[in-house]
Amino acid sequence: MFPRSTSPLAPRLALAALAFGLLPAAASARPADGTLTLMPIPQSMTVRDGRFRVDEDLSIAPAEALVPKGAGNVMSGAAPRAVKAARRFMSRLSGRTGLFFKQDYLASRGPSGEARIRYAYGRPGAVKPDEDESYTLTVDPAGIALTAVTDIGVLRGFETLLQLLSADERGYYFPCVAISDRPRFTWRGLLIDVGRHFHPVEVIKRNLDAMAAVKMNVLHWHLTEDQGFRVESKVFPKLHELGSDGMFYTQDQVRDVIAYADDRGIRVMPEFDLPGHATSWFVAYPEFSSAPGSYSIERKFGVFAPAFNPADERVYAFLDAFLKEMAGLFPDPYIHIGGDEVEGHQWDASPEILAFKKKRGLADNAALQAYFNTRLLKILTKYRKTMVGWDEIFQPALPKDVVIHSWRGPQALVEAARNGVRGILSNGYYIDLCQPAEAHYLNDPVPADSTLTDAQKALVLGGEATMWSELVTAETIDSRIWPRTAAIAERLWSPASVRNVDDMYRRLGQVSVELEELGLLHLKTPDMLLRRLAGGPEIEPLRVLAEAVEPLKGYKRHDQAAYTSLSPFTRFVDACAPESLPARAFGKMIDLYLADRDPLAGAEVRRALSAWKDNHALVLPFLAASPALREVEALSLGLARACGVGIEALDHLLKGESRPASWAKDQANVLAEAAKPAAHAELAVVKAITRLVEACAGGAAK
């Protein structure tokens, strides 16, 4: 048992430990007792007795003899993708265990019957939808066998095996298991918006690694926005030269990213948002917009007037040439054309466009956009690409082979499916809105109560987490994507029946640490920002405060300041996780206490309340030294007061005293005051403290 009660360092330990199983048997979140931490959970798994020991003699090799029968052409040697994945597997395993493996796993290529980890597959996989990603993984005390129909399945299996790593008194081991696994949905994506803020290649790459670790397979690269045109065009170089502030990807870099993703079995689907969200295009080509005048790169966020002119034939010639170039650059069979949020003012104000609508019998702007989309579809079809668009583009008259991407609600997918059209879900997966992982986790593309037929359900291809980047920079983006996106990844891979929220959170904390080995900054950035704000290395009280705080949810943060793409995203709010796992654990601990008045839980709650209450005095000197931090005083003071209320309520509960309604009302007022937004953020623990007060007022004697 961890000697928390004797340590002056205990409060933070206790808070963090709380997040991972409430009362852990050891300081580590890595279970030593055989509890597995797989995410996503496999389709089927049997755990057996026995342990495969991981030691310096560990070796890995492809093994043709293991190729499953009927799995296609027999592999001849191993394709580069599997060999490279095996090298990364060994490197990561060495990094986690600190073991000096004897095998030169970078050099060894050929099959070997003596390797202790052997892998095999039937044929190289194609990185496209509906490819077979299934695998079978068998761990025995003497050896490990990983087989799959395609090498992509092998990649997925390596990630599972890494997650199986366990430890006991003798050292590291893999538990003996038999796993048979395959994804529920074929489209498991992450959208990264590089338009509103640019994110360099290394950001994309480390997120591709993390996606692969949780078995996601589509990078949706949102490349153009009002605020920036982010891809080099050799046909129209003014697009990136004038529309990006110099922040764009060269075509070489794009090819590099695609190859990197392909190595990880991940598709790269580009989005060119049309006809709205297009201001940055018009910096170079104002003549293609629907209103005269020069344009500059948009700095603010929102829905803006500039839109392509659907009445101008030159626009289609331009887009044809541009999309032809991009169709050659991006091998994915899908291109996303956006289609969302056409503001309409430019169309309504243009005599040319009004006349065009009249002539064509286009009743409204939706019909005009439908016309535009039909023209785009023709272009994309010519270049053998399937069109994907946001749900605004859906209309029953469209051909059946488009894909509808739902952002406004799940109903769009239902309508599309009823019309025989495929769809993917992002509504409910907007990770930029700082909602808890739980909300995303329980959001199912095909809910249990779906009224669709099985054939219609099959048209729902999956979903995508969407990282819109108004409020994130390359410094902070990882901390907004991870670890919550891992919960979405599980929703899209694992059986629909996997819905235990507490167990998801138990695993999320450990997976989050494992994802760090891929270069993600999500766990590092908060401390960095706090150091920068403090102007020095010592930040402990700020850390303690940050654990009780979350950024404002939804779009509320935009009400707090006139954010632009040049604003600082280095404030305290940016150092706060979208969802504080310690705050969540604190709430669970209160519920545990309230459920049966467990004194141990009560003591833990009290310890947390006291630590946060006492923290305010420790925070104040930082505010004196750092003007940028002064805005957090209200949060820190509110936390101290709310915790004071909590302590008082807890004391009454511990004594079995009930309190009158007037008392509860007074306390509720204090808590309501503490719950107010400050510094673009809010306290994440007030609701839980409210439950303490309510229990106290509601006849707590027990």
Site for its own copies in 486-545 (CB under 8 A): 509-510, 512-513, 516-517, 519, 521, 523-524, 527-528, 531-538, 540-541, 544
Instruction: Assess 583 for contact with its own copies (CB under 8 A).
Output: no
| Min separation Cβ 607 and its own copies, Å | 10
Task: Report CA-CA distances (Å) from 15 to 29, 57, 514, 544.
Answer: 13, 39, 20, 9
| Min separation Cβ 119 and its own copies, Å | 19
Task: Report CA-CA distances (Å) from 673 to 233, 407, 667, 682, 686.
Answer: 53, 34, 10, 11, 10
Nearest by Cα to 688 from 575, 525, 550: 550
Percent helix, strand and coil across the chain, each to the nearest 5: 45, 15, 40
Instruction: Assess 588 for contact with its own copies (CB under 8 A).
Output: no
Instruction: Assess 91 for contact with its own copies (CB under 8 A).
Output: yes
Instruction: Assess 104 for contact with its own copies (CB under 8 A).
Output: yes
Task: Please report, as residue ranges, which positions from 228 to 257 form the binding site for its own copies (by CB under 8 A).
Answer: 245, 250, 252
Among 41, 75, 85, 101, binds its own copies (CB under 8 A): 101
| Min separation Cβ 486 and its own copies, Å | 14
Among 351, 624, 655, 660, binds its own copies (CB under 8 A): 624
Task: Report CA-CA distances (Å) from 644 to 124, 170, 614, 617, 639.
Answer: 62, 46, 10, 14, 8
Among 131, 438, 503, 614, binds its own copies (CB under 8 A): 614
Instruction: Assess 259 for contact with its own copies (CB under 8 A).
Output: no
**For its own copies, which is the closer residue by CB, 98 or 351?**
98
**For its own copies, which is the closer residue by CB, 503 or 517?**
517
Among 220, 337, 622, 683, binds its own copies (CB under 8 A): 622
Q: Which residues contact 187 (CB under 8 A, 6 or more apart)?
A: 129, 217, 218, 424, 461, 462, 463, 464, 492
Task: Report CA-CA distances (Å) from 261 to 81, 303, 387, 405, 569.
Answer: 11, 32, 21, 22, 28
Task: Please report, as residue ranges, which positions from 24 to 43 form the binding site for its own copies (by CB under 8 A).
Answer: 26-30, 32
Residue written as token pair 């009004």: 354
Size of the site for its own copies (CB under 8 A): 90
Instruction: Assess 13 for contact with its own copies (CB under 8 A).
Output: yes
Q: What span, in angstroms and rounded, lies between the C-alpha atoms of 699 and 661?
A: 10
Q: What span, in angstroms and rounded, lies between the C-alpha atoms of 432 and 574?
A: 12
**For its own copies, which is the closer residue by CB, 204 or 433?**
204
Task: Please report, as residue ranges, which positions from 548 to 577 form the binding site for its own copies (by CB under 8 A).
Answer: 561-562, 564, 566-568, 570-571
Among 57, 202, 502, 651, binds its own copies (CB under 8 A): 202
Task: Please report, as residue ranges, which positions from 437 to 496 form the binding site for its own copies (by CB under 8 A).
Answer: 475
Measured on CA atoms in the order 152, 461, 499, 683, is the torsion positive or negative? positive
**For its own copies, which is the closer residue by CB, 367 or 620?**
620
**For its own copies, which is the closer residue by CB, 311 or 544?**
544
Look up residue 535 and give its two tokens: 């102007």
Given a contact cutoff of 8 angstroms between Cβ atoms, the answer to whether 219 and 268 are in contact is yes
Task: Report CA-CA distances (Å) from 94 to 87, 102, 495.
Answer: 11, 11, 31
| Min separation Cβ 60 and its own copies, Å | 13
Among 65, 74, 106, 600, binds its own copies (CB under 8 A): 106
DSSP string, 424-443: EE-TT--GGG---HHHHHT-
Given a contact cutoff of 8 angstroms between Cβ atoms, the answer to whether 468 and 193 are in contact is yes
**For its own copies, which is the closer residue by CB, 55 or 131?**
55
Nearest by Cα to 82 from 120, 139, 130: 120
The single-letter code of the amino acid at 458 is A
Instruction: Assess 354 for contact with its own copies (CB under 8 A).
Output: no
Instruction: Assess 628 for contact with its own copies (CB under 8 A).
Output: yes
| Min separation Cβ 127 and its own copies, Å | 19
| Min separation Cβ 644 and its own copies, Å | 17
Instruction: Assess 661 for contact with its own copies (CB under 8 A).
Output: no
Instruction: Assess 70 for contact with its own copies (CB under 8 A).
Output: no
Put residue 566 in one of left, alpha, beta given phi > 0 → left and psi -120 to 50 → alpha. alpha
> How does strand 166-168 pair with strand 218-222?
unpaired
**For its own copies, which is the closer residue by CB, 77 or 200?**
200
Instruction: Assess 621 for contact with its own copies (CB under 8 A).
Output: yes
Instruction: Assess 122 for contact with its own copies (CB under 8 A).
Output: no
**For its own copies, which is the closer residue by CB, 412 or 679?**
679
The single-letter code of the amino acid at 237 is P
From 42-50, 87-95, 361-369, 681-689, give the range in contact with its own copies by CB under 8 A. 87-95
538 is annotated as an active-site residue = no
> How does strand 403-406 pair with strand 386-390?
parallel
**For its own copies, which is the closer residue by CB, 182 or 205?**
205
- Give the count of alpha carbons within 13 A of 86, CB side only: 31
Instruction: Assess 7 for contact with its own copies (CB under 8 A).
Output: yes
Q: Which residues contact 436 (CB under 8 A, 6 or more apart)?
A: 484, 579, 584
DSSP string, 646-675: HHHHHHHHHTT----HHHHHHHHHHHHHHT
Task: Please report, as residue ranges, which positions from 278 to 297 form the binding site for its own copies (by CB under 8 A).
Answer: 296-297
Instruction: Assess 660 for contact with its own copies (CB under 8 A).
Output: no
Choosing from 64, 131, 341, 631, the catalytic residue is 341
Q: What span, in angstroms and rounded, lies between the C-alpha atoms of 149 and 574?
A: 44
Residue written as token pair 């023209």: 375
Among 20, 301, 407, 493, binds its own copies (CB under 8 A): 20
Residue written as token pair 């300081």: 27
**For its own copies, which is the closer residue by CB, 135 or 174?**
174
**For its own copies, which is the closer residue by CB, 250 or 669?**
250
Q: What span, in angstroms and rounded, lies between the C-alpha atoms of 525 and 521?
A: 6
Task: Please report, as residue ranges, which positions from 296 to 315 form the binding site for its own copies (by CB under 8 A).
Answer: 296-297, 299
3-state class (DSSP) for residue 186: coil
Among 107, 448, 595, 701, binds its own copies (CB under 8 A): 107
Among 611, 686, 693, 695, binds its own copies (CB under 8 A): 611
Given a contact cutoff of 8 angstroms between Cβ atoms, the answer to whether 422 and 461 are in contact is yes
From 65-73, 101-109, 389-397, 435-443, give the range in contact with its own copies by CB under 8 A. 101-109
From 196-204, 265-273, 424-432, 495-503, give the range in contact with its own copies by CB under 8 A. 196-204
Instruction: Assess 182 for contact with its own copies (CB under 8 A).
Output: no
Total Cβ atoms within 10 A of residue 456: 19
**For its own copies, which is the closer residue by CB, 302 or 536?**
536
| Min separation Cβ 246 and its own copies, Å | 8
From 40-48, 121-129, 612-620, 670-678, give the range in contact with its own copies by CB under 8 A. 612-620
Residues acting as catalytic residues = 341
